[in-house]
């Protein structure tokens, strides 16, 4: 377990200094999931599960924002697909 806690600490340090990315948040979520899998009491499981979900959601949003930045307009829909004639 010590390796996972150390990895979490190092990933959080990288995120603080270099910024977050979907990959970093995904890696962090994976470490929290491992801690969740190995936790024995309900309180620890709840804490690690919440952190896992939060990190995965953040990773998905960061990836979504990278793929669909708000500065770019939506691609045009062909008239036929939109039902126009």
Q: Residue 63 falls within a domain, yes or no? A: yes
Q: Residue 15 falls within a domain, yes or no? A: yes
The angle, 0 to 180 degrees and rounded to 10, between the axes of the packed helices 42-67 and 22-38 is: 160
Are 48 and 32 contacting, i.e. CB atoms less than 8 angstroms apart?
Answer: yes
Which domain range does residue 28 map to? 2-67
* pLDDT recorded at residue 18: 96
Q: Residue 77 falls within a domain, yes or no? A: no
What is the count of structural domains for the chain? 1
pLDDT digits (tens, 9 = 90+) for 34-54: 999 999 999 999 999 999 999
pLDDT digits (tens, 9 = 90+) for 10-36: 999 999 999 999 999 999 999 999 999
The tokens describing 17, both together, are: 């200094």
């Amino acid at each position: 377990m010590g390796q996972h806690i150390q990895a979490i600490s190092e990933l959080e340090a990288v995120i603080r200094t270099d910024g977050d990315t979907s990959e970093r948040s995904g890696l962090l979520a994976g470490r929290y999931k491992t801690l969740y899998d190995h936790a024995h009491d309900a309180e620890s499981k709840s804490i690690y599960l919440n952190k896992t979900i939060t990190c995965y959601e953040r990773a998905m949003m960061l990836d979504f924002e990278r793929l669909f930045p708000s500065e770019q307009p939506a691609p045009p829909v062909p008239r036929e697909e939109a039902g126009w004639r």
